[in-house]
Amino acid sequence: DTAPNGCPVSPQAASFDPFESDYQLDPAEALRWSRDQEPVFYSPRLGYWVVSRYADVKAIFRDNRTFSPSIALEKITPTTQAAQDTLQRYGYAMNRTLVNEDEPAHMERRRALMKSFELEELAHHEPMVRRLTREYLDRLVDKGEADLVDEMLWEIPLTVALHFLGVPEEDMDTLREYSIAHTVNTWGRPSPDEQVAVAEAVGKFWQYAGQVLEKMRQDPAGHGWMKYAIRRQQELPEVVTDSYLHSMMMAGIVAAHETTAHATANMLRLLLENRAVWEDLCANPSLIPNAVEECLRLSGSVAAWRRIATTDTQVGDVAIPQGAKLLIVSASANHDGRHFENPDELDIYRDNTTDHLTFGYGSHQCMGKNLARLEMRIFLEEFTRRLPHMTLVPDQTFTFVPNTSFRGPEHLWVRWDPARNPERRDN
Ligand code: HEM
């Protein structure tokens, strides 16, 4: 095998497969060899250049003209004709959102739609997140055992996401199914048979997004980012187009909830595996915001993102041809010892934790990062207060939906002795 620049492909590069379990279980560990020996390599299985070191990943995020984000939502596995036909039957026309839009259109749109993400706007959501978290905890505190993903970590971020967007909260299970289909459709490697089933769900998701949008157009007053976007369209029709609104409606539901659900599950798992840190947080909740950030660094929910080279260029000392596609693995960058001291250690006191690249970097950096942080902080505040004695169910096997980018366990089993619940002790 040779790479498109003529260099031979090393055996490790040739066997790299992000849809297999090593990368799924621990993407940073699966790329340790690359960070050490070959930080930019061509993966023939993927057809992408893979970039694993902190400085290189950050430099690519920073320069969104040389490294365009236009392929961020492209299907990483080419679709079969049958799947394409299915999507077409649903009139599927996912196009530009913010995350895959080039300049100058991107910045104009990002500025036009930023207001809902500002801290004072987000403050509206805090009481709701707190109330939901308490309600869900009330339901399970006496049970002694729970799968936190199925019983709350999925539904709360989805409810918050719909609230944030202004979408009526209905059909949560269907939306969960649609969102996973969108992940597999975008970043997975479904078999030809699976592709048709996935396309069915994605097509229905697209139609659902269109219907919600139509309903909102009839009454675009009130809170919610999508309602705000509809009102902005009336002022700036060239900037906020119809195609944009429909695509963003669908992508927004995914961006706003699946990422946060996974991030919270990864965080709770990591903290319970590091009992001393968990106990520090229970004793001193003011440490929680640092812990959230350190968990996003060490076990974030977006493992990798994509860019395409718009010109012949260079990453590190590797020549990259125009048109080359790059998988920039933020999960690996976040474990790079060249930037983070003792990179594999969960250290909630490190001073550069917020340098992590889980939210991306530069002009496309995640707009929802403060909403995600707010949710993760409230989850931790409530869990450490009400279930400080919970532990992971031992010997459980964690499974992940195979894909390059969205990463979180499908289930997270914890247990505790309800007789030891603090609220019971206090009575
Ligand atoms: C973009 C991660 C939560 C909305 C992004 C990007 C990443 C990311 C990696 C691309 C950044 C880049 O290209 O530089 C995450 C993670 C989350 C999270 C890890 C949770 C822990 C959210 C939430 C929302 C949201 C809750 C909405 C409420 C967006 C939007 C963009 C974006 C609108 C596009 C920004 C642009 O291109 O200008 N996110 N996200 N995200 N995210 Fe998030």
Task: Give the domain CATH number at 172.
Answer: 1.10.630.10
Protein residue whose Cα sits closest to atom 42 of ligand 1: 366
- 380 lies in some domain: yes
Band the pLDDT of 275: cuts 50, 70, 90: very high
Does residue 375 or residue 184 have the better pLDDT? 375
| Cα-to-centroid distance, 109 and ligand 1 (Å) | 15
Q: Is the pLDDT at 414 greater than 70, yes or no?
A: yes
- 322 lies in some domain: no
- 313 lies in some domain: no
- 35 lies in some domain: no
State residue 7's pLDDT score.
Answer: 82
- 124 lies in some domain: yes
Into how many domains does the chain fold? 1
- How many Cβ atoms sit within 10 Å of the Cβ of residue 65? 10
- Does the Cβ of 404 fall within 6 Å of ligand 1? no
Q: What digits encode the pLDDT tens for the residues 194-209?
A: 999 999 999 999 999 9
Q: Is the pLDDT at 131 greater than 90, yes or no?
A: yes
| Cα-to-centroid distance, 261 and ligand 1 (Å) | 13
> Of 366, 373, 403, 405, which is best to mutate to test ligand 1, by the most ligand atoms within 8 angstroms of its C-beta?
366
pLDDT average, residue stretch 397-409: 94
Q: Is the pLDDT at 176 greater than 90, yes or no?
A: no
Q: Is the pLDDT at 427 greater than 50, yes or no?
A: no
Q: What digits encode the pLDDT tens for the residues 232-255?
A: 999 999 888 998 999 999 998 888
Q: What digits encode the pLDDT tens for the residues 43-75?
A: 999 999 999 999 999 999 999 999 999 999 999
- Does the Cβ of 224 fall within 6 Å of ligand 1? no
- 318 lies in some domain: no
User: Domain containing 420: what range?
Assistant: 79-301+335-426
State residue 188's pLDDT score.
Answer: 93
For all residues of the chain together, what is the average pLDDT?
94
State residue 425's pLDDT score.
Answer: 57
Q: Is the pLDDT at 423 greater than 70, yes or no?
A: yes
- 61 lies in some domain: no
- 135 lies in some domain: yes
pLDDT average, residue stretch 247-270: 94
